Amino acid sequence: MPEIHDPSKQNAVDMSRARSKTSIDVRDVRDFLYNGPAQWRRREQIVDILSKDPLFDKTQRTFATRKELYIRGQALTNRIFELQGILNWSPEDVNIALSVLDETLPIGLHNIAFEPVFRLQASPELFSKYASLIASRGILGCYLQTELAHGTNVNRLETTATYIPETTEFEINSPTLTSTKWWIGALGKTATHGVVQAKLILPGGKDMGPHLFFIQLRDLDSHEVLPGRIIGDIGPKALGGYATTDNGFARFDHVRIPKENMLSKFAGVTDGGEYVTPPHAKLSYGGMLYIRSVMVTTAGWLIAKGATIAIRYATVRRQGEIGPDGLERQTLTYPSLHVRLVPLISRAYVFIELGRALTRGFDALARGLSSGDTSRLAEMHVMTSGLKVLVSTTSIQDLEIARRSMGGHGYSAFAGVGRLYADYLPSATYEGENFVLDQQILRAALKAFRGLFNQTPGPSVDSLSPTSYYLRLLLDNKLLPPELSPESWTTPTTAILLLEWRAALLVHEMAQTIGAPDATVTQRVSRAVTEAFVAARVGEMIEALGATLRPRETEVVRKVYILYLLTTVESALVDLLSFGLFRATPTGAPPRSRDPTRALRMAIASLCAELFPEAIGLTDAFGLSDWELDSALGVYDGKVYETLWERAQEEPLNKTEVTEAYEASIKSILLRGRQMAAKL
C-alpha cells in the first residue's frame, strides 16, 4: 500500500516554511509596535509568569458556567495582586498583567471607570480620604450611570440626589422601577462603593440635572449589601459575552450620604443649598474621553489577535485546487481570501499607532483639566467620538471577517475568535452609542463649517483644527480633486486627498440640505469626517516610518499603511462616485474595462498579493503567545488539527460514552419508533 499523505503532518512544515520566507526582521517590527524593546520585554516577562501559573490555565474555561467564570475571574484578580506584592510589580505592570489576561474582569471597571472619574472630580477632602484606598483596591468601585430606561441621554436619568440642608446630607433615591441603575459593571456582586450619577435636587425642588455622588454599597467586613440598597446581577449577556463581569442593578430607597460625598471639584452645593456653577459644563466627560481614547488601542490589539489566528490557519489550511506541489493550495494563497485578511493587518497596525498618539493627547488634556483648562476639550471630544465609532464598528467587522475566513472551524469555540467578538460587541453601544455619537460629530462638523465661513474678515485656514482641516479644500476655488490614474494608488497622497475631499463635499452638501436631510446622511458625514482625519494621520505615520525602521521594514510597513488608505477609499466609493470624485481615465489597453473603480481594486489586490507572503512575519510581530490567543487554529507551530482533536476530548459530553439523555429520552424515541415501524 502506498504511503498515505497526512495533512496534519504538513501543517508544521507549511508554518515553518512561511516563517522562513518572511523578508522582514520580526523583532524590529515588534519593537516598533510596542514602542521600543523595553515595553515588549516587560510584557513578555509578565506573560511568561502568568502562562506558567496553573491558575491561569484556560483549557477548561470554555466549558464553565457564568457563575464559575465570575468566581474564577475574581481568583485571577486576587492572584495578580498577590503577585504584585511578591514580585514587586509597578501599577503599570499590574495593568499589563490584567490586559494580557484576555478576561472582562470586574476590576477593569474599577480601574477604567470608577477611579478616573473619582480622581478627576473628587473634592480635595474626598480625595484625601479615599484616593489611596481606591488606588490600592482597599475598596472596590463601580460607576453607576445607566438606568433601566435611560442610557445615552443622561439628562433624563430619574435617580435623584436631594440636598437636605438641615443635616447637610444628600438623599439618593430611585423613585421608579425604570430608575433602577442597570448594566453597571462590577456592581452585581463585587463593588463595595460606587459613583452614582443622579439628578441634583436643591431645596425648593429645583432640578440641577445630573451630578456625581460617592456612595458605599456593601459592608466592608461582611460584604453584605447595606440597608436601603437592592443590588444584584442583571443576568447573562448575549452570545455569552462579558460572562466574567457582574453587570448589576441597584435601587436606592432614600439613602442618606454626607454632603462631602458629592464629587464637587467643579460643581458643588453650599451648606445652605446654593449651587456653585461649574466652569465648564462638559468637565464631567473627562472620564469617558479617557475610556474612548483607550478604546482605539484596544481595538488595534483585538484586530491583531483576529488577524494572527486567521492568517496562521490560512497558512496551514489547504483546500480546493491542486498547486504545483501536488497538494491542495494553502488558502492564504487565494486572492479571494488574502484580500479579506491582509487588510486586517493594516487596520491593526494603524489603530495601534493611532491609539498611542491619542493617549498622549489625553494625557495633555487631563493635565489641562486638572488646572481648569478646558480649551482642548471640544476638539478632543470630537476626535475621540469619531474614533470610537470608527474603531468599534471596524473591529467588530474585522473579527467576524477573521472568523468567517476560517470556514466551518471558525464556528468552533476552540477557534477563539467568537469569544473575542462576543466580549467586544457591546463596544458599539457603550461609552456613547455609535448612532448618537454620529450626530454629535455631524453637529461639530457643521459648526466648524459655519464658523469657517462666518469669520471676519473672511474664512481662514488658521481657524481649522486637525478634525476639521479637510474644510480648507473649500476655501480656494482653484483647488481641484486629484485626477486618477493607475499610478495614483502607489503613494498615499491621492487616497488622503480623496478622503478629505469627500468629507468636505459631504459637509457642504449637508449644510445645503439641512432642512430636509435624508435618513442616513448622519452616518455618512460622521464616517467621512473621521476617515479624513485618520487618513491625514496615516500620511504622517508613513512620513515618520524611516526614522524608526530600517529600509526593508519601512518598505513593507509603508505598504501596510497604504493598504489601509486604499481599502478606506474602496469603502467610501459610493460617496466618491456620487460627488464625481472618482473620475478614472479608462485606459485603452486590454483587458478593456468599463469600471472606473477597477484600477483601485486591482491596486488593492496587488498590494495584498505582495504582502501576504509577509503576513506570518507581520502577525508574529504582534508578539501574541499561544496562551494569550487561546486558539486551536492560531497555534504558533501550525499544528491545528492535533490541537482541535485534543481540545475536543475535554468536552464534558465526552466523559461518558452513553449520554444520560439515552435512558432519559433517546431510548424512548427509538423504542416508540421501532414499534411504529413494525406496525407499518
100-129 residues in contact with a second copy (CB under 8 A) are: none
Closest CB to a second copy among 337 and 354?
Answer: 337
Active site residues: 431
- Binder of a second copy out of 49, 133, 202, 208 (CB under 8 A): 133
Q: Which region, left, alpha or beta, applies to residue 81 given φ > 0 means left and ψ of -120 to 50 means alpha? A: alpha
- Per-position x/- string for 60-99, each x denoting binding to a second copy as judged by CB under 8 A, each - no binding: --xx-xxx--xx-xxx-xx--xx--x--------------
Closest CB to a second copy among 193 and 558?
Answer: 193
Q: In angstroms, give the least distance from the CB of 215 to a second copy.
A: 17
Would you give the DSSP letter of residue 185? T
- Binder of a second copy out of 299, 417, 445, 495 (CB under 8 A): 417
Closest CB to a second copy among 248 and 287?
Answer: 248
Those residues whose C-beta lies under 8 Å from the C-beta of residue 208, and which sit 6 or more positions away, are: 199, 200, 201, 202, 275
Grid cell for residue 191: 463593588
CA separation for the pair 96, 41 (Å, rounded): 12
Closest CA to 79 of 97, 106, 91, 64: 97
SS3 at position 413: helix
From 208-216, 419-427, 449-457, 489-497, give the range in contact with a second copy by CB under 8 A: 419-427
Q: Is 180 in the site for a second copy (CB under 8 A)?
A: yes
Grid cell for residue 329: 493550495
Gap between the terminal Cα atoms of the chain? 47
- Binder of a second copy out of 426, 432, 492, 539 (CB under 8 A): 426
CA distances from 46 to 39, 49, 60, 509, 524 (A): 11, 5, 22, 52, 43
Closest CB to a second copy among 27 and 674?
Answer: 674
- Read off the amino acid at residue 49: I
Q: Is 659 in the site for a second copy (CB under 8 A)?
A: yes
Q: In angstroms, give the least distance from the CB of 450 to a second copy.
A: 16
Q: Is 300 in the site for a second copy (CB under 8 A)?
A: no
Instruction: With residue 230 as reference, give the H or E element that holds it.
Output: strand 229-233
CB 623 within 8 A of CB 43: yes
Q: Is 320 in the site for a second copy (CB under 8 A)?
A: yes
243-272 residues in contact with a second copy (CB under 8 A) are: 246, 249
DSSP letter for each residue of 575-603: HHHHTT---B---SSSSP---TTHHHHHH
436-455 residues in contact with a second copy (CB under 8 A) are: 439
CA separation for the pair 354, 656 (Å, rounded): 51
Closest CB to a second copy among 43 and 110?
Answer: 110
- Read off the amino acid at residue 624: L
Instruction: With residue 391 as reference, give the H or E element that holds it.
Output: helix 377-405
Q: Is 413 in the site for a second copy (CB under 8 A)?
A: yes
146 is in an annotated binding site: yes
CB 291 within 8 A of CB 113: yes
- Per-position x/- string for 583-602, each x denoting binding to a second copy as judged by CB under 8 A, each - no binding: -------xxxxxxxxx--xx
Length of the chain, in residues: 680
From 209-217, 462-470, 516-524, 558-566, give the range in contact with a second copy by CB under 8 A: 516-524
183-242 residues in contact with a second copy (CB under 8 A) are: 183, 188-190, 192, 220, 222-225, 232-242
385-404 residues in contact with a second copy (CB under 8 A) are: 403-404
Q: Which residues pair with 215 in a beta bridge?
A: 194
Q: Is 422 in the site for a second copy (CB under 8 A)?
A: yes
From 112-120, 139-147, 163-171, 470-478, give the range in contact with a second copy by CB under 8 A: 139-147
- Per-position x/- string for 518-537, each x denoting binding to a second copy as judged by CB under 8 A, each - no binding: xxxxxx--------------
CB 292 within 8 A of CB 384: yes
185 is in an annotated binding site: yes
The binding site comprises: 146, 185
The binding site for FAD comprises: 146, 185
